[in-house]
Amino acid sequence: MTELVINASNVVSPLCYSLLRLEPYTICVFNCVYCYARWYYRWGFTEASPRPVALRVFERVARSIRRRGLLPIPIRLSTLVDPFQPPEEVFKVSLRAMEIALRYEYPLVINTKGVLLAREPWRGVAEKLGDRGLLLLQVSVTSLDERVSKLLEPRAPPPGERLRLLKEFADTGVPGVVRLSPYIPRVSAAPSPEELAVRLREFGAKLVIVESLRLEKDRMPAVLRAVGAPGLELEPYSLREVPGAKPLVRPSLRVRLEEYSALRRALVKEGLRFATCKEGLFTLHTTPNCCGMHMFGVEVGYRPTLYELYRLAAEAGGIAIEKLGDALESICRDRRYLCGERLREYPREVSKPLRYHEKKLLRVAKDPEMLPRVAPALTIAEGRVRAAKLPIP
């Protein structure tokens, strides 16, 4: 595993702003049915052991960026394992990560299903980060129905407790995001998108991000039956077959567009923003970026994605494929976007993998077969990348 920077892929590289992450533990004990970490961690761990190497690399990079006077690139705590699972009470790796972020005034995205952050000493450090505009809190839930949550996330705190954590910090001014992840049609927005939107507003959410459920094809039917969504229309998720790996499926684009559109309307009515995560459905987005990077109280830098190319293509009526590199350069003239030669100013641990992500982004953007699979809001026609018309209900 590459420390701090997520490995490049045909999905992550073109779609994600949050490529820096710190994984504090080897595994997660919440034991979620849909756990994605099992696809990435193949080391045979049976206990959640601390990963101090991640702290060392983070501190070195944070110190270097601060000393050089560069825009900090927000780091996510974390992506594969929960940073506030029960072992954190003993090892306090996430606490130490927060203290490093505070010491070097480094922006931190906390993404959790846990509620340990509400207790001391974690709360005190988090509040100090929030006071300095350095904290973005994302709380993940699949459903507000505790029965469904217990089935899917048997060892995680109930969804109501997670949302109360969001509310407590929102009341102190920390920007709050709810990640409906994984989103399951017929389940995640029950009993209705309108009621869900009202409740999320009451809990202090400003942005709602959805990320669709994806599972091995042979496991998906049983999970859907268990949560009350049998017979859901599915489609392949994997862009290509990988030898030895089981094929993944997710709800079909038609089903996702129908559900997301209804939820988007309800959220907008309640004054909340909406985005999809790693789905490329930019037409539905009501926020400048899908991760909430604009919500920090300090200036931060982040990489461009297909979302920026989508906006350019929509405004200009398309971008010639041979001009995509020039289009990316034009985006990078905005100092918030870190790409091209500007990346060379950053520590090698960050700059080298981010440059590789940038190359992968351009390769996907130029591929007429892959681009609409990764981002259905874009297509290639007559040698130009264009904004596509999605069949939104």
Mean pLDDT of the 133-154 span: 96
47: pLDDT confidence band, cut at 50, 70 and 90?
confident
Mean pLDDT of the 245-252 span: 90
This prediction has a pTM of 0.95
Segment 270-321, tens digit of pLDDT: 999 999 999 999 999 999 999 999 999 999 999 999 999 999 999 999 999 9
Segment 330-359, tens digit of pLDDT: 999 999 999 989 999 999 999 999 999 999
The domains of the chain are located at 4-295, 306-387
Per CATH, the architecture of 4-295 is what? Alpha-Beta Horseshoe (3.80)
Alpha carbons 308 and 359: distance in angstroms, whole number: 15
108: pLDDT confidence band, cut at 50, 70 and 90?
very high
Does position 36 have pLDDT exceeding 80, yes or no?
no
Cis peptide before 182 (omega within 30 of 0): yes
- Give the C-alpha distances (Å, rounded to integers) separating 207 from 73, 85, 103, 163, 193: 20, 24, 28, 13, 15
42: pLDDT confidence band, cut at 50, 70 and 90?
very low
Dihedral angle sign, alpha carbons of residues 194, 256, 34, 291: negative
Does position 122 have pLDDT exceeding 70, yes or no?
yes
Does position 96 have pLDDT exceeding 50, yes or no?
yes
Task: At 210, give phi and psi (nearest 5°).
Answer: -110, 140
Task: At 34, give phi and psi (nearest 5°).
Answer: -95, 10
7: pLDDT confidence band, cut at 50, 70 and 90?
very high
Mean pLDDT of the 256-276 span: 98
Interior angle at CA 367, CA 361 and CA 370, nearest 5: 85
For the chain, the average pLDDT equals 94
Specify the range with the lowest mean pLDDT, choosing from 48-62, 228-242, 374-388.
228-242
Mean pLDDT of the 110-129 span: 97
Alpha carbons 178 and 265: distance in angstroms, whole number: 16
Beta strand pairing call for 273-276 and 75-77: unpaired
Segment 363-374, tens digit of pLDDT: 999 999 999 999
Alpha carbons 239 and 160: distance in angstroms, whole number: 36
Residue 18 amino acid letter:
S
Specify the range with the lowest mean pLDDT, choosing from 78-82, 120-124, 181-185, 375-379.
78-82
Alpha carbons 278 and 101: distance in angstroms, whole number: 26
